[in-house]
Amino acid sequence: MSQPNTRHNSTPGSERLTAMLERMLLIRRTEEQLGADSRAGELPGNVHLCAGQEAIAVGVCNHLSDSDYVGSTHRGHGHFLAKGGSVRSLIAEVHAKSTGACGGLGGSMHVTDLSKGMIGANGIVGGGIGLAAGAALSAQVAGEGQVAVAFFGDGASSQGILPEVFNIAVLWKLPLILVCEYNGYSEFSASSTVNAGEIADRARAFGIPTDVIDGNDVEAVWTSAAIAIERARKGEGPSFIEAKTYRLRGHLEAEDGFLQAPYRSEEEIDQWRARDPIPQLVKRLTEMSAMSDADFEILEAKVAAEVKDALQFANDSEPPEMERVLSSVFVDQLP
Amino acid sequence: MAKMRLTQAINAAYFEEMERNERIVLFGEDVEVSMFGDTRGLHAKFGSNRIRNTPISESAMTGMAVGAAMAGTPAICHLMFSNFALTGFDGIANQAAKLRLMTGGQARLPVTFVAAIGAGTSTGAQHSDTPYPMFMNLGGINIAVPATPADAKGLMKSALRGFNPTIFLLPRVRGATSGEVSEDPDFLVPYGKASVMQEGSDITIVAIGSCVHHAIRAAKALAEDGISVELIDPRTLVPLDTDTIVASVRKTGRLVVVDEARDRCSAASHIAAVVGDEAFSSLKASIKRVTSPNIPMPYAPALERALLPDPDKIVAAARLTLAS
Ligand SMILES: Cc1ncc(C[n+]2csc(CCOP(=O)(O)OP(=O)(O)O)c2C)c(N)n1
Ligand SMILES: [Mg+2]
């Protein structure tokens, strides 16, 4: 039997909310920079931006420490920064520089920082789900109360690996939090055309405690994640969170180059723009009298400076040498 | 004849054959939008019964394509990038490649898997593979790797008229290459028949997929030094036209094989082994392979470029061969 998540009593509080706002803003402004770089033809590869979805990454990862794990997706910049990855290493990686998170060998779809428990963005849809479940297994074996989070999209929910992981995670009571970022689209297909029924019901069928939340409300995300993560830390097994959200940018920045016709209405985009998680959070903090316009401007300036510094850092960095590639294939073989 | 790009030629093949055989279905992720352009317009023409967007479920897609084919409905299963053939590998490797033999020859399997191959645009290691060596090793599946729009059209049309499972790999960075293509509705390119793109007497160069274009440039450079290159594009790796390749090497005595796959167990190494067996006494020098190193593809563009075959590397390999 699946039990619905009961609402957690604790709330994040204004100080924590402010810290989360800063992270969300950092993700947004970093990605705006990368989007502009992409459109200007300054990036070697494509970028998938998560603008509009930042509250999910930040609300969940706010509970995690460096020893917890996050498995991510092709849309992974937000998860990377939310998990504590640095803006410098992110921007440098996407710009294919040796100082990037993966030395310029991975790229946007593979940003990883194992020192922060970020086990990677992933170019294979569904790939991160298996990796996160494996990290949860490792956490269980280590017995130190670590947890693992798998972020994945509504589209990825169609991969067989998801129900396979549901099953194993329940059987083994893995400390795994499965977070479906339901942004309504799988590439250019509306989710309703590629997903039968409710995705959350699939988790419920395995007896996994499940919560369907407003993913654009960082407080709701934070509260739901608090319960799921506590359960995992106590050894009570996996949880499933379906966070409803919307990506404000395209599937990939370059999509206008090949799309023959729009696949989303302007109206729909505008509706969701009005629900942008960042202004919503600013409004909430203002209502709590925890943030003034001046405070917000200071925050914006701080974030802008950080992004500017990171871009400068990336521009000043060298591309990777072939030596790095050749030494990155295997660890030294055992004697 | 009409001038068109490689992806347009494939598109034309789909249109013609789907019109000719109204049982053929095509499905894949976002085939209605068509990121590469090869499936563009099909939905408008043939409708939702025959052209279907699928969820991201490659293991179901490949299995279903095989099942549909067994049940009499020729299926085109579009896998977008060839790396996604790997999340759907069971349908290809355990089912499509094996079922005819296992059923004692009962099963006819008119199934065509389509996917883009190749690196060169910084898509990272999980979107850059050239995995035909893996498919070559499966035993029972045809493999087409067209280099020109005409061959792309003819090979696709043949696959769709035949009853054998086929994996059709389109060279991604060369998708925009244009060339003259026949508009004859019965224009077919046979499987197992190499194309001799240029006759020559000093050295044989066998090149696969996008490497054919590198080899053409290399042959031009070598011609300036008076070296006469015989250039062969096998077009299909299963079946492989070893007769044409071996006959050419018997004539020239020298062979360079160009293949974007990683060197270890590549198409190039297989071709070299066959030629070593069958034309040993004609060889005047050891066979050279121009391939990619045995590592995943890095993201940084300069590194990617340095690792891939290119005309200079082919010229260098040819000169080495000619020097001995
Ligand atoms: C195995 C695999 N199949 C297909 C793709 C191509 N692809 C990349 S993203 C994507 C859509 C993913 O949708 P969703 O999981 O909802 O994530 P979103 O892009 O909406 O964040 C597809 C089909 C892929 N990268 N990997
Ligand atoms: Mg989605």
**Cα dihedral A126, A127, A128, A132 sign:** positive
In this predicted model, what pLDDT tens digit does every residue of A112-123 receive, in sequence order? 999 999 999 999
Res A307: pLDDT: 98
pTM exceeds 0.90, yes or no: yes
Q: A93 to chain B, minimum CA–CA distance in Å?
A: 9
Contact A22, A300 (CB under 8 A): no
Q: Side chain identity at A285, as an amino acid letter?
A: L
Specify whether the CB–CB gap between A180 and A199 falls below 8 A.
yes
- The closest alpha carbon to A50, from A220, A277, A307, A239, belongs to A277
Residue with tokens 């994996």: B167
Measured in Å, residue B27 CA sits from the centre of ligand 1 at: 16
Torsion on CA atoms A135, A140, A145, A146, rounded to nearest 10: 0
User: Side chain identity at B142, as an amino acid letter?
Assistant: N
Q: Which ligand is nearest to the CA of A56?
A: 1
Would you state the pLDDT for residue B324? 84
* Residue B150 pLDDT class (50, 70, 90 cuts): very high
The dihedral through the CA atoms of A188, A193, A199, A205 has a sign that is negative
- Model confidence band, residue A5 (pLDDT cutoffs 50, 70, 90): very low
Q: Is any atom of ligand 1 closer than 6 Å to the C-beta of A155? A: yes
Nearest to A231 by CA among A165, A297, A149: A149
Q: How much of chain B exceeds pLDDT 90, in percent? A: 97
Q: What DSSP element (H or E) covers A278? A: helix A277-287
Compute φ and ψ for B144, nearest 5 degrees: -110, 135
Flag whether pLDDT at A4 surpasses 50: no
Which residues are within 8 A (CB) of B247 and not within 5 positions of it... i.e. 6 or more apart?
A: none
Candidates A137, A148, A197, A142; CA nearest to A173 is: A137
The atom of ligand 1 lying closest to the CA of A186 is: 13
Q: Across the strands, what pairs with A179?
A: A151, A241
**Cα B25 from Cα B53, distance rounded (Å):** 11
- The minimum-distance atom of ligand 1 relative to the CA of A127 is 1
Quote the ligand 2 centre to A196 CA distance (angstroms).
14
A308 Cβ contact partners less than 8 Å away, ≥ 6 residues apart: none
- Which ligand places an atom closest to the C-alpha of A157? 1
Both tokens of A124, joined, read: 């294979």
d(C-alpha A311, C-alpha A34), whole Å: 9
Q: Which residues pair with B142 in a beta bridge?
A: B166
Q: Whose CA is nearest to atom 17 of ligand 1?
A: A153
Contact: A96, B30; criterion CB under 8 Å:
no
Q: DSSP secondary structure string, B273-324?
A: HHHHHHSGGG-SS--EEEEE-SSPPPSSHHHHHHHS--HHHHHHHHHHHHH-
**pLDDT mean over A143-153:** 98
Residue B64's SS3 state is helix
State how far the Cα of B84 lies from the Cα of A122, in Å rounded to an integer: 13
Q: Which residues of B touch A44 (CB under 8 A)?
A: 121-122, 299-301
Ligand 1 closest atom vs CA A48 = 19
Note whether A159 contacts B300, CB cutoff 8 Å. no
What percentage of chain B has pLDDT greater than the value 70? Answer: 99
Residue A1 confidence (pLDDT): 37
What are A294-330's pLDDT values in tens digits?
Answer: 999 999 999 999 999 999 999 999 999 999 999 999 9
Give the DSSP per-residue string, B89-152. HIIIIIIITTHHHHTTT-----EEEEEEE---S---GGG----HHHHHTTSS-EEE---SHHHH
Average per-residue pLDDT in chain B? Answer: 97
Domains of chain B, start order: 2-181 (3.40.50.970), 195-323 (3.40.50.920)
Q: Is residue A12 scored above 80 in pLDDT?
A: yes
Strand order in the sheet with B236-238: B51-53, B25-28, B75-81, B111-117, B166-171, B142-144, B236-238
H helix or E strand, kind and range, residue A177: strand A176-182
Chain A residue with the nearest C-alpha to that of B300: A96
pLDDT at res. A88: 98
A113 lines ligand 1 (CB under 6 A): no
Q: Is residue A173 scored above 50 in pLDDT?
A: yes
A251 pLDDT higher than 60:
yes
Is B35 in Cβ contact with A125 (below 8 Å)? no
Nearest one of A211, A104, A215, A197 to A157, comparing CA atoms:
A197
| Confidence at B143, pLDDT banded by 50, 70, 90 | very high
Ligand nearest to the CA of A152: 1
CA distances from B289 to A183, B22, B258 (A): 47, 44, 6
Residue A9 pLDDT greater than 70, yes or no? no
Q: Which of A105, A159, A189 is nearest residue B57 as measured by Cβ atoms?
A: A159
- Secondary structure of residue A298 in the 3-state scheme: helix
pLDDT at site A97? 98
SS3 A229: helix
**Is the Cβ atom of B84 under 6 angstroms away from ligand 1?**
yes
User: Residues of chain A with pLDDT > 90: what percent?
Assistant: 95
* CA–CA distance, A329 with A263 (Å, rounded to integer): 40
Answer yes or no: is pLDDT of A334 > 80.
no
Q: Residue A166, CB half-sphere, CA atoms under 13 Å: how many?
A: 23
Query: Annotated catalytic, B127?
Result: yes
Distance from CA of B299 to the nearest CA of A (A): 5
Distance of alpha carbon A242 from the chain centroid: 13
Q: What mean pLDDT is predicted for residues A214-231?
A: 98
Helix (H, G, I), strand (E, B) or coil at A172: coil
* Contact between residue B212 and residue B260 where contact means Cβ atoms under 8 Å apart: no
Under the banding of pLDDT at 50, 70 and 90, the label for residue A76 is: very high
Residues 6 or more apart whose Cβ sits within 8 Å of residue B211: B147, B258, B259, B260, B290, B309
Q: What CA–CA distance (Å, rounded) separates B110 from B89? A: 17
Do residue B300 and residue A319 have CB atoms under 8 angstroms apart?
yes
Residue B152: count of CB within 10 angstroms of its CB: 34
Could you give all domains of chain A from N- to C-terminal order, each with its CATH number?
20-184+200-250+267-317 (3.40.50.970)
d(CA B168, CA A308): 46
Residue B173 pLDDT class (50, 70, 90 cuts): confident
Q: Give the model's confidence band at B95: pLDDT under 50 very low, under 70 low, under 90 confident, else very high.
A: very high
Instruction: Write down the mean pLDDT value for chain A.
Output: 96
Cβ–Cβ below 8 Å for A325 and B303: yes
Distance from CA of A146 to the nearest CA of B (A): 29
Distance separating alpha carbons of residues A71 and A132, to the nearest angstrom = 5
Alpha-carbon gap: B228 to the closest alpha carbon of chain A (Å): 34
Cis upstream peptide for B239 (omega within 30°):
yes
Burial of residue A114 (CB within 10 Å: 0-12, 13-18, 19+) is exposed
Q: Mean pLDDT throughout B224-230?
A: 98
Cβ of residue A153 lying under 6 Å from some atom of ligand 1: yes
A77 lines ligand 1 (CB under 6 A): no
Query: B53, A125: Cβ pair inside 8 Å?
Result: no
Strand pairing partners for B304? none
If you average pLDDT over residues B59-78, what whole number do you get? 98
Q: What is the CA radius of gyration of chain B?
A: 19
Distance between CA atoms of residues B92 and B77, nearest Å: 10
Q: Which residue has the higher pLDDT, A8 or B182?
A: B182
Q: What residues of B are in contact with residue A123 (Cβ under 8 Å)?
A: 83, 123-127
Our answer on whether the CB atom of A185 is closer than 6 Å to any ligand 1 atom is yes
Q: How confident is the model at residue A3, as a pLDDT?
A: 45
For residue A274, give every residue at least 6 positions away whose Cβ sits within 8 Å of its Cβ, in sequence order, or none: none
Closest CA to B145 of B34, B241, B70, B227: B241
Location of structure tokens 């979805």:
A53
* CA dihedral of B49, B51, B57, B63, whole degrees rounded to 10: 80
Over range B167-179, report the average pLDDT. 84
Nearest chain B residue to A103 by CA distance is B300
Q: Who contacts B316 (Cβ-Cβ below 8 Å, separation ≥6)? A: none
Q: How confident is the model at residue A332 (pLDDT cuts 50, 70, 90)?
A: confident
Query: What is the C-alpha to C-alpha distance for residues A148 and A94, in angstroms, rounded to an integer?
Result: 25
Interface residues from chain B to A (CB-CB < 8 Å): 29-30, 32-35, 37, 40, 53-60, 83-84, 87, 121-127, 295-296, 298-303, 306-307
Closest CA to B319 of B246, B250, B225: B225
Q: What is the pLDDT of residues B235-248, one digit of tens each?
A: 999 999 999 999 99
If you measure from the C-alpha of residue A180 to the centroid of ligand 2, how many angstroms do you get, rounded to a whole number?
9
**Which of A325, A330, A331 is best to mutate for the B interface (most B CBs within 10 A)?**
A325
